[in-house]
Amino acid sequence: MKIQMKPSILTFFTTLCCFSFLLLFNACSSEKPKEQTAADKINEAMDEMQKEMTNTAKSAEGTYSDAMNKMNEAMEQLKSDGKVVEPVNFRVLKEGVPETFLGMERTKNEGETSGALGFKVSTAKAAFRDGDKSVNIEIVDVGGIGMGAMSMAAWAMAEIDRETEDGYERTTTFEGHKAFEKCRNGRCELSVWLNQRIIFKAEGSNVSMDDLKKGVKKDVNLNKLISKVADAG
């Protein structure tokens, strides 16, 4: 059974150009009016196609621009109604990063506050290492609206329980908060959703999930972090 592939617009356009060139070449080398008329029709069709593509591009650009304007207007309205809380400055989040984690010294401590299209996010990152063991901690404040969690912590709105030969991943609770556990190939990750706006994540290499949990309980005070963000916000 033959399967005919539908040509792309670019392929069709290229073929049409070649066909038009051949018709024009034949028209120049022959006096038959029929061939000249066909070439004219092809050229007219190409002109119409170009106009249509230009109009479509302008229409798409206009639609995108209108959508962005409406989104910005909606965000401004939510802010004026008090339904959107700006994330705190990343320096507040850095206060929740410990100097040591499971006895490992901190080797990195950085952060930033950035945003686009009316949404802002603050992030603090830290790294800890001891030999072949390492842990990375990330704290993200997505603000009061919590929209950022849809892309950065989709598990917070889902129920997951999965096991494979390589490891497992599941949603659970950690110190009373919605959490996500994932272990695979010597790497374990613990993420916690705090106060509907903060994502705390500890990811370890050659560190077990039990040790990660012990480290967070011992070296990181999640409730204190929530209070710091609430006071600063």
Q: 24 or 195, which is more confident?
A: 195
- Same domain for 201 and 108: yes
Torsional class of 14: left (φ above 0), alpha (ψ -120 to 50), beta (otherwise): alpha
Q: Determine the Cα–Cα distance for residues 224 and 218; give it in Å rounded to an integer.
A: 13
The sheet that has 177-184: what strands, in order across it?
Answer: 100-101, 104-116, 119-130, 133-141, 198-205, 187-194, 177-184, 167-174, 161-163
C-alpha count within 13 angstroms, C-beta hemisphere, residue 120 = 14
Q: Which domain holds residue 60?
A: 9-80
Q: Choose one of 80, 115, 135: the last residue of a domain.
A: 80
pLDDT band at 45 (very low <50, low <70, confident <90, very high): low
Residues 76 and 104 in one domain: no
DSSP 8-state assignment for residue 141 = E
Q: Which two tokens stand for residue 84?
A: 């959107």
Residue 106 has pLDDT above 70, yes or no: yes
Same domain, 127 and 210: yes
Residue-level pLDDT at 218 = 96
Mean pLDDT across 144-163: 77
Q: Please say which residue of 54, 80, 106 terminates a domain.
A: 80
Q: What pLDDT was estimated at residue 8?
A: 38
